Structure 1
Amino acid sequence: MSLHLRCLYTQSLALVVTLLLFTATSGDGDGDAVENITAVLGHSVTFRCPSKHSTSVEGLYIQRVKNDKEEDFINGFYIGRVLNVLPEYRDRTKVNVTELSMEMRNISVSDEGLYKCVVFINNKAEISKILLKVTAEYSVPTITKDCNKPGDGGAGKSCQLSCSAVGGYPQSTVRWTGLNQSLTNVIYNRSSADNESKTWTINQTIVHNCNQPTNISCAVGGSVSHTITICETESFPFVVIVAIAVVLVFVLLLVFVVVMKCCFRGPQRGTQEHTHTYTHTELSGDTKLHELLVTLQIFIKNLNVFCISLFHR
């Protein structure tokens, strides 16, 4: 074997031994155990790195794991060294040396992922993993209804219902409460993420075939809409009620006119001496009756105009 090949073999063997020693001294923290923590979008979260020793540590590295291989240094410390922190983390991360923790502020969706804590004690590295999950509450869902009547293009009454919510994370779905799923058909379902904030907008529209009055609501994530009532039974139309009232008023006025006419005529007189007085009384009664009829005609005309305008609303 040539001298050059021997050198390469020796260097390779030394590298393998070094990696084995580092793995052996890194402790059990680099196993499969992962601590899960949750942060709210725009708020703060604290990464706490566990240590099995009570002695003071030499250093702490918190790293971001990308693509299961690449690691970005987020923040930390090492005694006697100055560590360079990336600009995107410099102003929103703070390390607590005593508690072996790091606070990260103004959490965004892009911060979600796997992190690694490396604690250095007596030239040994204790490694633990932390999985950060980000959540954002959806807005209160907007729920709308558009119900048709029996015979309006279909055999029975149905309602088109829509539910939408914005600004949430992670992606969620619409959940309906109070509906019979066998009578429901989804006609539109769309979810879209904002390019900048990565938060989601959820929309869904369904058609529900009515069988009885129902109180319903919809939910997206942990947000719930207000309750609405669909498939109500048809109440007696207001227009019909008004028309009946108008007819009753007309009948009452007609009865009133007949009664007044009989009262104004008075009893028939048979003697000649009362002829002049009777004629005067009859003429006076006819004049008042005529005025009453004119007033009644005006009133009926106004009622007709009112009814026509009411039916054309």
Structure 2
Amino acid sequence: MDPCTGKSRRKIIPFVAHFILSFVHLVKAFLHHTVHLSCHFPNSQKIDVNNLVIFWQKDTIKVVHEVYYGQEKHENLSPEYINRTKVDTGKWTLQLLNAGVEDEGLYQCIIMQKITERSTEVIHKSESNYSQPEIAELHSGELKPNGYLNLSCSSGGGYPEPKEMTWLISYENITHSSTAHMDISQDAVTKLYNVTSKLNIPVPEKSHTNISCLLHLREQLGSLVSVPLAIGESPFSPMDHIWLTNCQIDCAEFKCKDHETWTNIRSIPGGFHNIW
């Protein structure tokens, strides 16, 4: 109330406008490696870092790293991120060291000054290589013509959970495939997966039979194939042996004569074959 005029006065409250610009992108990294979480901040005005507040947060509740007007602050950090981050303010990138499965999630980078706030969201997903699938014989003694062949195929130490496992049975230029049940277990500490599939079939009547298993991975990571198990006296012809050797050296294509189907094969380190 104005004591002179008797009219009420409007109270003027100063405010600071905030403009939020969000960008979302997906980042993948191998387990126990460094993840690079970047901010989309062109900084066309060449604003000095000493005039900005920058912080990264996970799932909007955990503070991963904070730079307050050029100085790193640690008192607000979530305990699991202490001494695990490094920041490059020149590239607006945060390094998260020794990334684990528990670090998967949505990360948000926020850069603030008086009139502008810029936000970048990053989704982090972990990956870890599976071991080459390995076939083991579960039956004991010598195989008999009317007996059964009991096999298992195992692979482990990988992430994320694989899609499926397929058995391949080849003889006389014919290949049969079968998708079998896959037992999956996850290590409570490392969060890595181990998988096993079993095959129980009559002993093949055809000689020169080869049995392989194929582990199909997710996230467009391809597949891993085991070393073939040979049933019979002469499992490989000379041409078969040459083909396997070439697959370990360079890219090749092979043709299933019965199905007229072409399959691409790419070698990966350690003699594993990546099939897509």
The alignment's TM-score, normalised by the length of structure 1, stands at 0.56
65, 83, 91: which one aligns with 1:91:
83
Determine if contact 1:42/1:106 at 8 Å carries over to the other structure. yes
Whole-angstrom distance in 2 between the partners of 1:88 and 1:159:
49
Instruction: Name the counterpart of 1:143.
Output: 135
106, 117, 120: which one aligns with 2:98:
106
For residues 270-281 of structure 1, the aligned pairs below 5 Å read none
Deviation, 1:121, is 4.3
191, 196, 219: which one aligns with 2:214:
219
- Residues 83 and 143 of structure 1: is their aligned pair in 2 closer, same or farther, counting only changes over 3 Å? same
Give yes or no for the alignment of 1:133 onto 2:125.
Answer: yes
Report the residue type matching 1:149 in the other structure: K
**Alpha-carbon displacement from aligned partner over 1:10-52 (angstroms, at most 9, x marks no partner):** xxxx9xxx89x54xx112x1xxx52111111111111111113
Q: Determine helix, strand or coil for the equivalent of 1:151.
A: coil
Q: Determine helix, strand or coil for the equivalent of 2:61.
A: strand
Whole-angstrom distance in 1 between the partners of 2:176 and 2:55:
53
Report the residue type matching 2:36 in the other structure: T
Report the residue type matching 1:112 in the other structure: E
Determine if contact 2:168/2:176 at 8 Å carries over to the other structure. no
Whole-angstrom distance in 2 between the partners of 1:199 and 1:185:
23
Q: Determine helix, strand or coil for the equivalent of 2:102.
A: helix
- Residues 198 and 26 of structure 1: is their aligned pair in 2 closer, same or farther, counting only changes over 3 Å? same
190, 201, 204: which one aligns with 1:197:
190
Deviation, 1:75, is 0.3
Report the residue type matching 1:53 in the other structure: N
Larger Rg: 1
For residues 134-283 of structure 1, the aligned pairs below 5 Å read 134-145=126-137, 146=139, 148-152=143-147, 158-172=148-162, 173-178=164-169, 180-181=175-176, 184=178, 186=180, 189-209=182-202, 210=204, 212=206, 213-220=208-215, 221=217, 222-230=223-231, 232=232
Report the residue type matching 1:48 in the other structure: S
Report the residue type matching 1:140 in the other structure: Q
Whole-angstrom distance in 2 between the partners of 1:48 and 1:211:
59
Determine if contact 1:170/1:199 at 8 Å carries over to the other structure. yes
Whole-angstrom distance in 2 between the partners of 1:52 and 1:211:
68
Determine if contact 1:118/1:126 at 8 Å carries over to the other structure. yes
State the superposition RMSD in angstroms: 3.0
Q: Higher helix proportion, which one?
A: 1
Deviation, 1:53, is 2.7
Whole-angstrom distance in 1 between the partners of 2:53 and 2:152:
55
Aligned sequence identity (%) = 27
Deviation, 1:133, is 0.6
Counting matched residue pairs gives 200
Deviation, 1:92, is 1.3
Determine if contact 1:137/1:223 at 8 Å carries over to the other structure. no
Determine if contact 2:111/2:118 at 8 Å carries over to the other structure. yes
The 4+ residue runs of structure 1 with deviation greater than 6 A are none
Report the residue type matching 2:209 in the other structure: T
Q: Determine helix, strand or coil for the equivalent of 1:88.
A: helix
Instruction: Name the counterpart of 1:41.
Output: 31
Whole-angstrom distance in 1 between the partners of 2:61 and 2:205:
59
Deviation, 1:208, is 3.5
Deviation, 1:166, is 1.7
Whole-angstrom distance in 1 between the partners of 2:42 and 2:63:
23
Give yes or no for the alignment of 1:77 onto 2:67.
Answer: yes
Q: Which runs of 5+ in 1 are unaligned?
A: 1-13, 153-157, 235-313
Whole-angstrom distance in 1 between the partners of 2:115 and 2:214:
53
Q: Higher strand proportion, which one?
A: 2
